[in-house]
């Protein structure tokens, strides 16, 4: 097998992680969405790792030379392994909690193998960066198109949920879809500015926004708003002025979509403005005074009690993917008075508290370092040339906002760990 052939297959597999994973749904598994996505990730990682090792078998500089983002990933993985060593259930911490089987050390090892291979590919071929961006946009377009069709009833007979009011497309839950769209929308808007196909990327941006609006996800809208504030703050003024007409079209299009299809989100926003505390039982976002807000408040209260219960847990956690086990002794009795009184929580519904509970303070420090590094990698690029990096960072930070009431799933985890690498690559190009 030649290195050229191995590299071609490896690239195809890495691109497949970005394009195929968000689309995967299987009707023959008990977990329809996350399990097949995680399975594809792990199978791809095994093959990618094999081809990568074959290509780099005689190149010592591959093992010696590192990068800033690779160092961050290594530190985070070391915190995973440290937590794994003291886990209350090592098998769960490696394979992940049953059902979705994502979040264990094994799934993160697979993800980091993919990121390592992507880093090498970006170094080897200049055009590969644009190819990966196009792959992300293609996947987002297909996911969003199905979400819009779902809103108009294309698959309403397949689900017991009211998918017309809150779409979830191929992601599995409205908030998961919203987090995914928040992450890719600012990047698409940056493409409007930098690419020749402005009309195409403008249409895609509005498609992404439409799908996000149809999720009726308040955390998603807040995340997108935060992302756009970041985007506007770090884009050069000359760039904004030059592309003002396209930005006006985007803004007007978003307003039209929202006004023509107010739906459940329109009702929720009206209640917020009126100060109402009424909430539909089916809604799952955090709304002050609503049942969902109370649920999360009690969930976070119990999680903090877990974190502070022992010095070992505070610093090293209970082990990756063990939240469902470790939370039970600290479960607040108030949860029994909510609509989710019979739920088994396997996540803290706050990524940072969840990491703290499972990986300890060491894991949280690694996450904070990741945020600092991603911001630094972007800001060191000259302002007139950082448009694409700004789209990546804005979407990435928007994902951090949605993570305050949610958590990473396979599709968003892939973007979470790859976006700063793409930013780093743009920085080296400049």
Using pLDDT thresholds of 50, 70 and 90, give the confidence band for residue 2. confident
> What's the rounded Cα separation, in Å, for the pair 164 and 166?
6
Mean pLDDT of 276-303: 65
In angstroms, what CA-CA distances link 166 with 55, 194, 211, 410?
Answer: 46, 33, 10, 20
Assigned token pair, 131: 């190819």
CA-CA distance, 105 to 110, in Å (whole number)?
9
pLDDT at residue number 61: 64
- CA 10, 98, 309 angle in degrees (round to 5)? 110
Q: Give 425's contacts (C-beta < 8 A, 6+ positions apart).
A: 122, 129
- Lowest mean pLDDT across 52-61, 103-112, 306-315: 52-61
Distance CA 136, CA 247 (A): 21
Mean pLDDT of the 232-244 span? 95
pLDDT at residue 349 in the model: 96
Average pLDDT, integer, range 252-272: 82
CA end-to-end span of the chain: 35
SS3 31: coil
- Dist CA 129 CA 75 (whole Å): 25
Is the pLDDT at 66 greater than 80? The verdict is no
pLDDT tens digits, residue range 121-180? 999 888 999 999 999 999 999 999 999 999 999 988 888 888 988 999 999 999 999 999
Question: Is the per-residue pLDDT at 286 higher than 80?
Answer: no
Residue 107 has pLDDT above 60, yes or no: yes
> Distance between CA 247 and CA 166 in Å, rounded?
27
DSSP-assigned letter for residue 170: T
Both tokens assigned to 173: 């839950």
Q: What is the pLDDT of residue 283?
A: 43
Alpha carbon separation from 42 to 39, 133, 410 (Å, rounded): 5, 22, 11
Query: Mean pLDDT, to the nearest integer, of 191-195?
Result: 96
Global pTM value? 0.94
In the DSSP assignment, the letter for residue 366 is: H
Q: What is the mean pLDDT of the chain?
A: 92
Q: Write down the pLDDT at residue 289.
A: 37
Give tens-digit pLDDT for 350-386.
999 999 999 999 999 999 999 999 999 999 999 989 9
Q: What is each CA distance from 348 to 16, 55, 171, 278, 407, in whole angstroms?
A: 30, 41, 19, 24, 8
For the ranges 46-60, 275-289, 309-323, 362-376, the lowest mean pLDDT is seen at: 275-289
Contact between 83 and 319 under an 8 Å Cβ cutoff? The reply is yes
Predicted confidence at residue 279, as pLDDT, reads 40
The per-residue pLDDT for 281 is 39
pLDDT band for 64, please (50, 70, 90 cuts).
Answer: low
* Mean pLDDT value of segment 79-100: 97
270 pLDDT above the threshold of 80: no
- How confident is the model over 183-200, as a mean pLDDT? 97
Contact, 74 vs 311, CB < 8 A? no
The confidence score (pLDDT) of residue 307 equals 98
Contact, 357 vs 303, CB < 8 A?
yes
Residue 417 to residue 394: CA distance in whole angstroms: 14
**Which residue is listed with tokens 């006004």?**
259
**Do 424 and 67 form a contact (C-beta atoms < 8 A)?**
yes
Mean pLDDT of 287-298: 71
Q: What is the pLDDT of residue 268?
A: 66
Q: What is the mean pLDDT of residues 70-74?
A: 96
Name the least confident of 94-103, 284-293, 343-352: 284-293
Residues contacting residue 83 through CB under 8 Å, at least 6 positions apart: 93, 316, 317, 318, 319, 320, 358, 359, 360, 362, 363
Over residues 275-289, the mean pLDDT reads 42
Q: Between these two residues, 65 and 347, which has the higher pLDDT value?
A: 347
- Alpha-carbon distance of 110 to 120, in angstroms, equals 16
Q: Indicate whether 42 pLDDT > 90.
A: yes
Quote the DSSP letter at residue 385: G
Q: What percent of the chain has pLDDT over 90?
A: 80
- The confidence score (pLDDT) of residue 377 equals 97
Of residues 300, 285, 297, 385, the one with CA closest to residue 338: 297
What is the band of 60 on the pLDDT scale with cuts at 50, 70, 90?
Answer: low
Of the ranges 63-72, 249-258, 283-292, 338-347, which one carries the lowest mean pLDDT score? 283-292
Q: Is 386 exposed, middle or buried (0-12, 13-18, 19+ CB in 10 A)?
A: buried
Contacts of 290 (CB under 8 A, 6+ apart): 277, 278, 279, 283
The answer for residues whose C-beta is within 8 angstroms of residue 355's C-beta and 6 or more apart is: 317, 363, 364, 367
Q: Does the pLDDT value for residue 267 go beyond 80?
A: no
Lowest model confidence (mean pLDDT) among 12-21, 121-130, 148-157, 260-269: 260-269
Spatial CA neighbour of 401 closest among 166, 244, 219:
219
Quote the pLDDT of residue 293: 81
Q: Which two tokens stand for residue 390?
A: 């700004």
């Amino acid at each position: 097998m030649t290195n050229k052939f191995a590299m071609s297959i490896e690239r195809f597999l890495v691109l497949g992680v970005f394009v195929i994973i968000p689309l995967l749904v299987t009707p023959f598994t008990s977990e329809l969405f996350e399990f097949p996505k995680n399975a594809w990730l792990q199978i791809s990682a095994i093959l990618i790792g094999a081809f990568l090792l074959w290509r780099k078998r005689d190149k010592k500089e591959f093992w010696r030379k590192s990068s800033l983002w690779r160092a961050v990933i290594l530190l985070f993985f070391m915190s995973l392994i440290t937590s794994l060593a003291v886990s209350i259930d090592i098998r769960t911490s490696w394979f992940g909690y049953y059902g979705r089987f994502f979040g264990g050390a094994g799934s993160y090892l697979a993800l980091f193998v993919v990121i390592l291979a992507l880093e090498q590919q970006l170094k080897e071929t200049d055009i590969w960066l644009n190819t990966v961006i196009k792959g992300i946009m293609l996947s987002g377009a297909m996911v969003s198109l199905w979400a819009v069709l779902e809103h108009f009833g294309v698959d309403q007979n397949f689900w017991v949920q009211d998918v017309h009011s809150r779409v979830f497309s191929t992601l599995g839950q409205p908030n998961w879809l919203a987090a995914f769209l928040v992450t890719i929308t600012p990047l698409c808007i940056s493409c409007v500015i930098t690419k020749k196909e402005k009309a195409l990327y403008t249409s895609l941006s509005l498609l992404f926004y439409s799908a996000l609006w149809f999720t009726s996800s308040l955390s998603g809208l807040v995340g997108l708003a935060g992302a756009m504030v970041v985007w506007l703050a770090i884009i050069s003024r000359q760039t904004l002025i030059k592309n003002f007409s396209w930005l006006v079209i985007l803004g007007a299009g978003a307003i039209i979509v929202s006004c023509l299809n107010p739906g459940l989100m329109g009702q929720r926003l009206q209640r917020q403005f009126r100060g109402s505390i009424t909430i539909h039982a089916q809604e799952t976002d955090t709304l002050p005074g609503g049942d969902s807000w109370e649920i999360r408040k009690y969930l976070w209260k119990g999680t903090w009690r877990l974190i502070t219960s022992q010095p070992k847990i505070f610093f090293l956690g209970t082990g990756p993917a063990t939240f469902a086990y470790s939370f039970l002794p600290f479960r607040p009795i108030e949860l029994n008075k909510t609509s989710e009184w019979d739920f088994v929580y396997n996540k803290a519904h706050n990524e940072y508290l969840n990491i703290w509970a499972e990986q300890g303070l060491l894991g949280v420090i690694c996450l904070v370092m990741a945020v600092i590094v991603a911001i630094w990698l972007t800001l060191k690029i000259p302002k007139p040339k950082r448009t694409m990096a700004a789209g990546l960072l804005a979407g990435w930070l928007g994902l951090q906002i949605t993570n305050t009431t949610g958590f990473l799933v396979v599709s968003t985890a892939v973007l979470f760990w790859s976006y700063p690498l793409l930013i780093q690559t743009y920085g080296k190009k400049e």
